[in-house]
Amino acid sequence: MRIDIISVVPGLLEGPFSHSILKRAEEKGLATVRVHNLRDYAGGKQKQVDDYAFGGGAGMVMMIEPIAKCIEALKSEREYDEVIYMTPDGKKFDQQMANELSLKENFIILCGHYKGVDERVRLKWITKEISIGDYVLSGGELAAAVVTDAIIRLIPGVLNDESSALTDSFQDGLLAPPVYTRPADYEGMKVPEILMSGHQAKIDTWRFEASVRRTKERRPDLLEGKEI
Ligand code: ADE
């Protein structure tokens, strides 16, 4: 998988991709993330990437030309499955969307800033618009990092324990059950006996029931229309 991220503040994305799981995915050759500075595609001395909105009002709008140049340059190098725009008015990101995107090969993620991009960019190039929640960030970079992390960890071989992504919260429409490690007794707070019994079938049943209980308590909306 290759993900090309277009940003006006590429420095914001340096941290997330140079650590931990994402770094390991790169090193193993399972995923490549490249961040492109939109200003490198801007014309003039000022390297201008935004301008005043037609019709007035506060806030700048990201211009078409630098974005067009950047997207077309990338497209001339390889085929892309999706050109994604991070925006609070996009489709709400969830685990199902992460699963779907993890099956794709190449995509571009455009990070919005200021008042967003000129609408014609969305009409001409964007194939998917994603929001990570009903709140407004100062730019799409942190949202792009969230989406990229959620996708890359699903690629087979990225996580050490292959089954670990399959037992995440949401993967089966339920929240994950509680987990414990040593010590078995912390100041009188004991780990449930069953987890130390070595009886795998009973442990699986306990975990499933704990998942259902937790989902009922915290996210009953996830169980609507489901028979459990
Ligand atoms: N850009 C600004 N806010 C955002 C959000 N909530 N999701 C995705 N991109 C954004």
Q: Pick from 151, 170, 29: which is nearest to 101 by CA? A: 151
What gap in Å lies between CA 192 and CA 189, rounded to an integer? 9
User: 190-216: per-residue pLDDT in tens?
Assistant: 999 999 999 999 999 999 999 999 999
Confirm or reject: Cβ of 143 under 6 Å from ligand 1: yes
Given a cut of 80, whether residue 110 has pLDDT beyond it is yes
Q: Among 137, 142, 148, name the best residue to mutate to test ligand 1's pocket (greatest count of ligand atoms within 8 A of Cβ).
A: 137
Nearest one of 132, 127, 70 to 62, comparing CA atoms: 70
> What is the torsion angle, in degrees rounded to the nearest 10, for the CA atoms of residue 154, residue 156, residue 159 and residue 162?
110
Please write down the HEC assignment for all residues of 44-101.
Answer: CCCCCCEEECCCCCCCEEECHHHHHHHHHHHHHHCCCCEEEEEEEEEEECCHHHHHHH
Pocket test for ligand 1, best of 5, 13, 85, 86 (most atoms within 8 A of CB): 86
Q: What is residue 163's predicted lDDT score, i.e. its pLDDT?
A: 63
Is the minimum distance from the CB of 137 to ligand 1 under 6 angstroms?
yes
What are 111's strand-pairing partners?
Answer: 86
pLDDT of residue 162: 60
